[in-house]
Amino acid sequence: MDIISTYCIFKTIVKLNKNDMVVTRKIQLLIGDYDKTNKTYSVSEKNDDVYKYTWKELNKLNYNSFIVANKTTTELYKNTNALSENFVDNKENKRDNAYRIGLKIVEELKLDFEGYKEILNCVCRNASQKLKNDRKEIRSGKRTLANYKIGNPIPFQSQNKPFVKQNSDYYITLFKLHFKLHFGRDGSNNRHVIEQIEKNNYKFCDSSIQIKNGKIFLLLAVQMPDKNILFDKNICLGVDLGMSVPAYLALNSNPKYRKSLGSFNDYTKRRLSIQNAYERSQRSDVGFNGKGRKQKNKKIERLSSAEKNYCRTYEHRITKMVIDEALKYNAGTIKLENLKGYNKPFGKRNWGYHEYQTKIQQKAQKYGIDVVFVDPRNTSKTCSTCGCVNEDLDCLNKNKQMNKKREWVCKNCSTTLQRDWNAAYNIANSTKYLEK
């Protein structure tokens, strides 16, 4: 089977306890050197031999990992047992089979993995794990085999005491190469995370190195202890996700509480402007004999990254505000709608509800807040006062001003309701639980 259309990156595989929280921190690395005589570290200059050697080794590992990951995925799929239940359940067989295939590929293609067997093991293991996770969807035809791209992170296993402190700087040695951790402004407080790892308060997990735009980044996976805060599980925060308002909040314990987070103009219009620029760049002509193609592709990649980064940042900001509200009101449960199957074309392209829900779950787990999913049917149409289901909300809007405020009047009890708050309040009080 050809490997087409589905792209993915290497992800660390960590076995965790139920309440463990693993976060990934992105830290820039500067190429360093180690003086064995004085036992000191330093930063290498660009024209230094150590600097050139380090980049040569990283580019070689990057390319070789890309080849092995794709070939291993294909060979595992060809194996008749690769997608069977017996193969997946037998962890030792799965690990040995993937690594054995990887060694065979390295020998056939004469790839240079000398001294980097640990990386080869991680690459093969992650490829096998990805195939296992996608097994059911591949069988049903909903997903193709994963296709790994050049530039994906290079995975490596966790180490004991990986960081060395020299004065106020931290250094790390990976693949027999030395790097200095560059924190910059440190808005994410990464230095504190490194200090906690040194004090054994946090656990260093399987991580990876990424090369992007001529820079080297450490994608550091850290297992943090669960923050034990006593919450009232009976206080539920209902979150109504939508396009007009990214997130609208309501509490089951306080009908007067209502809060909207974000707006359509902030999120969608900015995203659409980037998409339009992307489409214009795709339609632009390339000169005679293909001249200008490289510059055109650079612009397209830059716009694609700009849209992804903007969406990711906006989603993190909104979901953090949701968790902050839950902490403020001591809400031990967050309720979300199970929106699986939502397939409106515009919304599916420009509204990533799944990303919002995933980020809320990850952030809530850090504090021990439960996240449950409820039935989304009629949450907006059901009057939160009398329980009457109003089928056509547009007909219940008395004037244009109410339409702008997204309000409607219940035909049974004549209560004026704000549409988003009404849905969030019904979600907060719903007991129709569903699995995601």
Residues 217 and 240 in one domain: no
Tell me if 161 is assigned to some domain. Answer: yes
Domain edge (last residue) among 199, 224, 249: 224
What are 194-217's pLDDT values in tens digits?
Answer: 998 998 888 898 899 999 888 999
Same domain, 176 and 299: no
Q: Is the pLDDT of residue 319 over 90?
A: yes
Q: What is the pLDDT of residues 292-316, one digit of tens each?
A: 677 777 778 888 888 888 888 888 9
Clarify whether residues 32 and 118 are in a common domain: yes
Percent of the chain that is helix, strand, coil (3-state, to 5): 45, 25, 35
Is 115 among the domain residues? yes
Mean pLDDT, the chain, rounded, equals 80
Q: State the Cα–Cα distance between residues 237 and 254, nearest whole angstrom.
A: 10
Question: Does the structure show a pLDDT above 80 at 286?
Answer: no
More confident residue, 367 or 164: 164
Q: CB 244: neighbour CB atoms within 10 A?
A: 13
- Burial code (b: 16+ CB inside 10 Å, e: under 16) for 267-278 equals bbeebeebeebb
- pLDDT cut 70: percent of the chain above it: 83
Does a structural domain hold residue 181? Answer: yes
CB 221 within 8 A of CB 205: yes
Residues 363, 264 within the same domain: yes
Q: Count Cβ neighbours within 10 Å for each residue of 105-115 and write b for 16 or more, e otherwise.
A: bbeeeebebee
- Classify residue 371: in a domain, yes or no: yes
The answer to whether 195 and 185 have CB atoms below 8 angstroms apart is no
Domain boundary residue, one of 172, 194, 224: 224
- Does one domain contain both 188 and 162? yes
Q: Is residue 1 part of a domain?
A: no
Give Dmax (Cα) for the chain.
86
In this structure, the answer to whether residues 283 and 174 fall within a common structural domain is no
188 or 396, higher pLDDT: 188
Co-location of 219 and 298 in the same domain: no
CATH of the domain at 410: 3.30.420.140
Instruction: Quote the distance between the C-alpha of residue 149 and its chain's center.
Output: 17
* Backbone torsions φ then ψ of 103, nearest 5 degrees: -65, -40
Mean pLDDT of 248-274: 85
Whether residues 213 and 323 share a domain: the answer is: no
Residue 310: inside a domain = yes
pLDDT tens profile 26-55:
999 999 988 888 888 988 888 888 999 999
Tens digit of each residue's pLDDT (9 = 90 or more) over 338-370: 887 666 545 556 677 888 999 999 888 888 889
> What is the pairing mode between strands 207-212 and 154-156?
antiparallel
Tell me the residue range of the domain where 153 lies.
Answer: 6-224
- The whole-number pLDDT of residue 323 equals 92
Kindly give the pairing relationship between strand 169-174 and strand 177-182.
antiparallel
**C-alpha distance from residue 95 to each of 56, 64, 158, 214 (Å):** 29, 19, 18, 33
pLDDT at 172: 92
Instruction: Please check whether residues 156 and 260 belong to one and the same domain.
Output: no
Helix (H) or strand (E) holding 334: strand 331-337
Helix 270-283 to helix 293-328 angle (10° resolution) is 170
Per the model's pLDDT, the better-predicted residue between 171 and 82 turns out to be: 171
Q: Do 94 and 112 fall into the same domain?
A: yes
Residue 76 domain-assigned (yes or no): yes
- Alpha helix stretches (DSSP H) within 209-292: 264, 270-283
Q: Does residue 288 have a pLDDT over 60?
A: no
User: Is the model's pLDDT at 18 over the cut of 90?
Assistant: no
- Per-residue pLDDT at 287: 53
User: Both 185 and 204 in a single domain?
Assistant: yes
The Cα 188–Cα 202 span in angstroms is 16
Give me the pLDDT at residue 88, please. Answer: 45
User: What is the reported pLDDT for 289?
Assistant: 53
Q: What's the sign of the alpha-carbon dihedral 377, 380, 381, 384?
A: positive
Q: Do 375 and 279 belong to one domain?
A: yes
- Look up residue 394 and give its two tokens: 């547009």
- What is the count of structural domains for the chain? 2
User: What's the confidence (pLDDT) of residue 14?
Assistant: 37
Q: Given pLDDT bands bounded at 50, 70 and 90, which one contains residue 11?
A: very low
Q: How confident is the model at residue 226 (pLDDT cuts 50, 70, 90)?
A: low
Rounded to whole angstroms, the Cα distance separating 387 from 422 reads 11
Domain boundary among 178, 199, 224: 224
